[in-house]
Chains A and B, each alone.
Chain A
Amino acid sequence: MASSTSGALVFPSLKWFQAIQELVNNDPEFRRLGSIDATMGVKIGPKVFVVTFEAFECSNIREGTEFDLIDLDFFLEMTEEKWNDLIRNTKENGGADLSHTLNTLDLMAEDGLSQNATGDQLRADIFFRVNQSLQHFFDSSAKLNTVFPAEA
């Protein structure tokens, strides 16, 4: 699982997301929040990760490109700096604090955090429909030993 020294995982990396996948798929609380059928993109600066949820689990994670975004239900986009801030905040608080929840970030950013590449709000609305599961997904990163590229 480690992609850095001493069991630490570099954010962003495929291994980091796969570690989250493993955590939520073994977490009864994640299942209790309900089913999700969605493909979500996570755009971190120029990097893209595609996260697929099916029923009660995160079924697949892969690295993607900007060309993938058009096929996804929605994608979350921030600069690498802001993503790092979110992940640090999540670690410090055992979960995102109020100003770092996905919902608040989406409400407060001028263009939102989440969007559908084709402007299809029905698919974009899935972000709202399963928001607490997505929050749980990212909050689970508090359990990881995350390092950032400059520290790795």
Chain B
Amino acid sequence: MATVTNRADYWEKARESGFDLSWLEQLKENIQGETTNEFSENNTGRVEGSIPRGNVPQFGAYTFRTKKDIWAHNLTKLYQEFVTRQWSSATDIPWETIEPLPDDIEAAECQLATFFAQVEFVASDVPGRFISTMSPDYHEVRLVLLAQVMDESRHLDVFRKRALANGGGLMRMIDTVSDVVGGSTDNAREFTELSSRLHITGEGNVLTLFRLGELMAYNEAEKAIYRRCAQDEARHVAIGVLHLRYMNECNPERREEIHSYLDEGESRQSSGAGGENPAARNVLTSEALAVLLGGGKDKTDEGQKILMAIRQRQTKEYFQRLKSAGFDDRITNGRVNPALLEVYNPN
């Protein structure tokens, strides 16, 4: 049962600290019986810690009722970051700064915006399916996924608006229909599978692309879009690193399975198979990127040079995330995709 043990102390301390984030730690300290069970018997939608009653149908029938399949440490703190760093495509983007652009630039911008709108739809749609399949006893995981869905919805919205804002419109959909930059996200039927593909491979790659955004933006509105989206995307990556770190520590028997998801993601990341990694070579969106980075259809060579540097950055950050999560053995034991190693160490 969850009960605030000493209400007076709790509020007094919270006021003294100005309701900063230490307030959340106090909240935890003041709850009796706050434990996260390894297995959840809760099939009734009962809020974690509340008093059960017997006359409730088992309507939840949750697929995920085992902590070690979905858990990660420190998600409460990450969720607070999600909440305080929300923004609005209506009020935080200076849309008035968009002016007519040359046709080749506008077309490339719209192709990329179409691409981002599509992958962000997938990145919202797929984790959204998982939320209601998790026991409410693991509400921290549900909360960060709900917050991610909100972020991705905003990204879908803001890139759609950009495509429509300046006369270009939505362009051709990308070759894949269900994946996010290196990860076959929609095939995931299990949370760790989803997180490996979506958060680590997919969103890690998209984060680098969003960071690149301010270099290929042609007005303050586009800069603001990419800068804001990059912050959001980095939170999504953190979900995955925290989850894989937990899996490595508490569920090592699944390491080989996780490595197999990474095998697949790396292959698609490096080859561009599926057409979802604009930083890969010779895909529709990489042409758009080269036009935007170079400054026109006749200057794509310059754009391709920058893209090479970006591919290297994508790979470096991916390798370091593997290290943070405890899966960097693949870098040294020959398992990592050789094309990524080549990008990482071109000489």
Are A121 and B84 closer than 8 Å at their CB atoms? no
B340 within 8 A of A: no
Q: How far is the CB of B78 from chain A (nearest CB, A)?
A: 9
Which residues of chain A have C-beta atoms less than 8 A from B233's C-beta? 128
Which residues of chain A have C-beta atoms less than 8 A from B215's C-beta? 98, 104, 107
Report which of A56, A119, A125 forms a contact with B234, defined as CB distance below 8 A: A125
Q: How far is the CB of A120 from chain B (nearest CB, A)?
A: 5
Interface positions of B from 201 to 237, Cβ below 8 Å from A: 207, 211-212, 214-215, 223, 227-228, 230-231, 233-235, 237
Interface positions of A from 99 to 152, Cβ below 8 Å from B: 101, 103-104, 106-108, 112, 119-126, 128-132
Are B231 and A130 closer than 8 Å at their CB atoms? yes
Are A121 and B320 closer than 8 Å at their CB atoms? yes
User: Contacts A103-B230, A129-B231, A131-B231 known; A122 to B313 CB distance under 8 Å?
Assistant: no
B20 within 8 A of A: yes
Are A128 and B77 closer than 8 Å at their CB atoms? no
Are B214 and A120 closer than 8 Å at their CB atoms? no
Which residues of chain A have C-beta atoms less than 8 A from B144's C-beta? none
Q: How far is the CB of A104 from chain B (nearest CB, A)?
A: 6
Which residues of chain A have C-beta atoms less than 8 A from B77's C-beta? 37
B58 within 8 A of A: no
Are A120 and B211 closer than 8 Å at their CB atoms? no
A79 within 8 A of B: no
Closest to B82 in A: A34
A68 within 8 A of B: no
Which residues of chain B have C-beta atoms less than 8 A from A107's C-beta? 211-212, 215, 309-310, 313
Are A37 and B228 closer than 8 Å at their CB atoms? no
Interface positions of B from 308 to 347, Cβ below 8 Å from A: 309-310, 313, 317, 320-321, 323-325
A35 within 8 A of B: yes
B85 within 8 A of A: yes
Are A119 and B21 closer than 8 Å at their CB atoms? no
Report which of B20, B212, B242 forms a contact with A122, defined as CB distance below 8 A: B242
Are A122 and B85 closer than 8 Å at their CB atoms? no
B interface list, Cβ under 8 A from A: 18, 20-21, 77, 80-81, 84-86, 207, 211-212, 214-215, 223, 227-228, 230-231, 233-235, 237-238, 241-242, 245, 309-310, 313, 317, 320-321, 323-325
A interface list, Cβ under 8 A from B: 33-35, 37, 54-57, 98, 101, 103-104, 106-108, 112, 119-126, 128-132
Complex A-B: 28 CB contacts under 8 Å: A35-B21, A37-B77, A55-B20, A56-B20, A57-B20, A103-B227, A103-B230, A107-B211, A107-B215, A107-B309, A107-B313, A112-B313, A120-B320, A121-B320, A121-B321, A122-B241, A122-B321, A124-B320, A125-B238, A125-B321, A128-B211, A128-B234, A129-B85, A129-B231, A129-B238, A130-B85, A130-B231, A131-B234
